[in-house]
Structure 1
Amino acid sequence: MIDYEYAIGLLPTVTMNLSTTLWMTLGGLVLSLSLGLVLALLKITRPFHLHHFADLYISFFRGSPLLVQLFIFYYGLPQLIPAMAELPAIVAVIIGLGLHFAAYMSESMRAAIIGVHSGQMEAALSVGMTRAQGMRRIIIPQAARVAFPGLMNNAIDLLKSTSLAFTLGVVEIMARAQMEAASSFRFFESYLTVALIYWAVVVACTWFQKWAEKQLNRAYV
């Protein structure tokens, strides 16, 4: 039988570590958005043939599992770079998430930037802007509106992927639920509780996405 009282009583215990999950999500999101934009611009502008590096990067991080990448980054690289042995596990998770999801976000950004009509850049150049200024002031703001839904989906996937952090010893909500399940043998209740917490956070993100899309589309209605 399902012990509903145990599941409800477990909520405060598990949510104590929710801040760790959210901090990892925020850190990974900032890194992935920044690196993703760089990769997208490298593929579009192709300076010094660096688009080949971007292609290789995206191919590797999209072509191998996130868990394997985390293990390589946290357990494998310290063998080659001893200084990385001092890296805290939570920092390793944030960097690993950022590197992984940058590969996906870069493709969303690239498609959105390419989708902006070429006449927009021509107009920017005609009023004396450089290509860099035109990209920063004209192209990217318009592309952001198109890319936003896809980037939000990537952000939600990133949030759920923080559940892998427990494999590196980070105590977040998944790790807390697993510890409670191991001590009480109430596996169903423990994992259902953590699933509902993730669900609630994702629902909040979805509401934010709908609100933000309305704000971004106001000028186009």
Structure 2
Amino acid sequence: MRALDLDYMLGLVPVLLGYVPLTLGMAAAGMALALILASLMAVERVFQVPGLDPLVKLFISFFRGTPLLVQLFLFYYGLPQVLSFLTNINGVTAAIMGLTLHFSAYMAESIRAAILGVDRSQWEASQAVGMTQIQMMRQIVLPQAARVAAPTLINYFIDMVKGTSLAFTLGVTEMMGATQKEAAGSFLYFEAFLVVAVMYWIIVEGMSFLQRQLETYLNKAYAR
């Protein structure tokens, strides 16, 4: 059994750190877009708009029921053959698109559950003072639902950060893609993948710490 090449591992760290911004950037862009789309779908699912509700259900069912890797391949390799304007789509755009649609399907259900968890008296009181449904959702329901949904949404963001590791299959050189190239050049696969695994671990633990801090902050107003 050979010893680990610690010098190689230490030298690899600064190389991979250079790709952290791209990894986190793809996750942040995907999260922002997914949050907008998921919120719209969640509100639709609550009010069940005729004609639109079956389409939203189909969307959620498809993206929850198929693997993320398959969806990435579908967007990057498949859609350009059907939609000519997507011929020049790059790997980063396809990855963000895949992350957005995949995780929005999960987030929509979480947000819907949080909305339905708001006490019905809040809904009734809003209607009693003459608020429209849009005003009620924006000013009363969604702020309360956000507190409930926040921990789950942060978990999805953490999953999204890990999901960016699949972007290397589309030719994107992010943390995982850079590791693959470095390992192929050195043949030190164990050391290379161990380094990137620890780096992902540290990033996730940092986000988990921030999640706990956010939960504490959000729950202060409800402390008895």
TM (norm. structure 1) is: 0.98
Unaligned runs of 5+ in 1: none
**2:41 aligns to what?**
39
Amino acid at match of 1:198: Y
Give, in whole Å, the separation in 1 of the partners of 2:195 and 2:56. Answer: 40
Matched, 1:146 2:148: yes
Which of 197, 201, 204 does residue 203 from structure 2 map onto? 201
Q: Is the deviation greater in 81-90 or in 96-105?
A: 81-90
Give, in whole Å, the separation in 1 of the partners of 2:87 and 2:207. Answer: 35
Residues 1-221 of structure 1 mapped to structure 2, 5 A cutoff: 1-221=3-223
> Per-residue deviation at 1:91?
1.0
- Where has structure 1 moved over 2 Å in runs of 4 or more? none
> Per-residue deviation at 1:212?
0.9
- CA deviations 1:96-150 (Å, max 9, x no partner) are 1000000000111011000111110111112221111011110010011111111
Unaligned runs of 5+ in 2: none
Amino acid at match of 2:110: S
Give, in whole Å, the separation in 1 of the partners of 2:51 and 2:90. Answer: 35
> Per-residue deviation at 1:48?
2.4
TM (norm. structure 2) is: 0.96
Tell me the matched-pair count.
Answer: 221
Give, in whole Å, the separation in 2 of the partners of 1:167 and 1:32. Answer: 22
Give, in whole Å, the separation in 2 of the partners of 1:219 and 1:157. Answer: 28
| Contact 1:89-1:168 within 8 A present in 2 as well | yes
Give, in whole Å, the separation in 2 of the partners of 1:202 and 1:138. Answer: 32
| Contact 1:121-1:131 within 8 A present in 2 as well | no
> Per-residue deviation at 1:88?
1.9
Give, in whole Å, the separation in 2 of the partners of 1:27 and 1:76. Answer: 22
Give, in whole Å, the separation in 2 of the partners of 1:83 and 1:134. Answer: 40
Give, in whole Å, the separation in 1 of the partners of 2:4 and 2:105. Answer: 41
Give, in whole Å, the separation in 1 of the partners of 2:17 and 2:37. Answer: 30
Choose between structure 1 and 2: higher helix proportion: 1
Give, in whole Å, the separation in 2 of the partners of 1:154 and 1:84. Answer: 27
Give, in whole Å, the separation in 2 of the partners of 1:127 and 1:15. Answer: 54
Give, in whole Å, the separation in 2 of the partners of 1:119 and 1:131. Answer: 15
Matched residue of 2:78: which SS?
helix
